[in-house]
Structure 1
Amino acid sequence: MPGLRSQRERARDLLAAGGILRLSEFREAGITAATLSRMEKDGEVVRLARGLYQRPDADLDAHHTLAEVAKRFPKAVICLVSALAFHGLTDQLPAKVWMAIGRKDWTPRPGDIPVRTLRFADDLLADSVETHVIEGVPVKVFGVAKTIADCFRHRGRIGLPVALEGLQEALRQRKATPAEIARAAEAGGVATVIRPYLEALTANG
């Protein structure tokens, strides 16, 4: 069956180049769901979640789940505890991936990947977004100072101790300066909340 072989070859090439791929991307390349199903049975591809596939021998990054989420929700930005964990600023291992979407974006449907969604105003969603490539997938993550400010803004959801841990670690590891955090706090409307903690932590330094 030469047609099937050529589909498999194209699928293997796509997986080698793209890391994690969506079913729609295979279809755009002329590869059917039936071919992927056969490849999965033969151990040539791994189904990570509904509509997401990867090579079985792919090197899994420590932030693999973020790559899965970014592939499924490319407009979303990793935020709060998930962003803290990505930047190495917390010992927390969030059970769900925290992600920010726009006010008018469609709410993601629950699926195989547990996510926690927050809606951000357009200006806050576009501010301080970094793009990191994880397993070949571009992943949007808020920068350190912005993440700290957001954690204080949403301290009722994640808990003040988590926000404080992030602030302390960002300063200790010098991943953000007090001035950068203060500016991000001002932009996020939490300058008066963060200021006393920031002053206490920098008073002797």
Structure 2
Amino acid sequence: MPDVARERLSKLFKDRQIVRFVDLKDIGLGSREIDRLVSREVLEKVGHGAYRLSDAEAPSTWLSFAVLAVRHPEAIICLDSAAAYYGFTTANPINVHAAFPYNSSIPSSRSPSVQGVRWQEKSMTLGIETVTVANTPVKITSKARTVVDLLRAAERSGDKELALEVLKSYVNEGEPIRDLSRYAKALNREKSIRPYLDAVQAFRM
């Protein structure tokens, strides 16, 4: 690889571990050269249109979150994936569970494979935090918001096993119950979730 290209590549990856195909194109690398760098193990393709340096530090367990965030900055990690990130469940979802703006399309890429939901504007801003994965900012629902979302989903599907496991983990970690009530009220789900919250309050007394 020419020194100029190597220098540009070094600058591109200076503050981030994952870049898009278009970012590589912007520094003057063509499709064939990018493929050649992958074959020579200079670059590693970590998802559809996403790359990292092959000699970078070992990838994070949550690398798929970062890949999704690079390609879709608007995406919010939620539900099962958020619960797994916080250690609230031993389940490891095959797909990345993520929320997208209501009027947008859900990515069909298999790398990472996304199980998406569409949320209205209020849901896209309520209880959303940003964590760093592989030097990449990733949006994710807060711990309390994650629990409330899973309880809401359980009420609709009737499958409450995961939601109850996550609620129990949340309580055992000493997280504030008032935050659950606040998000349930803000999302107009306080009535359906109230029995769970009352049970938790009784458990803590």
Per the normalisation by structure 2, the TM-score is: 0.91
Aligned to 1:133: 132
Instruction: Please state how far the C-alpha of 1:6 moved relative to its aligned partner.
Output: 1.2
Structure-to-structure mapping, 1:3-152, within 5 angstroms: 4-58=2-56, 59-152=58-151
CA 1:116–1:128: 2 relative to 1, 3 Å:
same
Instruction: Please state how far the C-alpha of 1:37 moved relative to its aligned partner.
Output: 1.5
Percent sequence identity over aligned pairs = 27
CA 1:158–1:26: 2 relative to 1, 3 Å:
farther
Instruction: Please state how far the C-alpha of 1:116 moved relative to its aligned partner.
Output: 0.3
- In structure 2, what is the Cα distance between the partners aligned to 1:14 and 1:157? 45
Q: Which has the higher helix share?
A: 1
- In structure 2, what is the Cα distance between the partners aligned to 1:85 and 1:145? 14
- The answer to whether the 8 A contact 1:149-1:185 is kept is yes
Q: 1:148-183 CA distances to partner (integer Å, 9 max, x unpaired)?
A: 111122224593111111111111112x31111011
CA 1:35–1:8: 2 relative to 1, 3 Å:
farther
Q: 1:60-88 CA distances to partner (integer Å, 9 max, x unpaired)?
A: 11211111111121111000000111111
- In structure 1, what is the Cα distance between the partners aligned to 2:118 and 2:105? 10
Deviates more, 1:101-110 or 1:134-143: 101-110
SS, match of residue 11 in structure 1: helix
- The answer to whether the 8 A contact 1:16-1:55 is kept is no
Per the normalisation by structure 1, the TM-score is: 0.91
Aligned alpha-carbon RMSD (Å): 1.7
Instruction: Please state how far the C-alpha of 1:111 moved relative to its aligned partner.
Output: 3.0
Aligned to 1:168: 168
- The answer to whether the 8 A contact 1:129-1:141 is kept is yes
Q: Which amino acid aligns with 1:50?
A: H
Which segments of 5 or more consecutive residues in structure 1 lack a partner in the other structure?
A: none
Instruction: Please state how far the C-alpha of 1:109 moved relative to its aligned partner.
Output: 2.3
- In structure 2, what is the Cα distance between the partners aligned to 1:159 and 1:73? 30
Which segments of 5 or more consecutive residues in structure 2 lack a partner in the other structure?
A: none
- The answer to whether the 8 A contact 1:7-1:35 is kept is no
CA 1:158–1:47: 2 relative to 1, 3 Å:
farther
- The answer to whether the 8 A contact 1:21-1:52 is kept is yes
Q: 1:34-63 CA distances to partner (integer Å, 9 max, x unpaired)?
A: 222221121111011221101113221121
SS, match of residue 137 in structure 2: strand
After the TM superposition, which segments of 4 or more aligned residues of structure 1 sit over 6 Å from their partners?
none
- In structure 2, what is the Cα distance between the partners aligned to 1:186 and 1:73? 29
SS, match of residue 105 in structure 1: coil
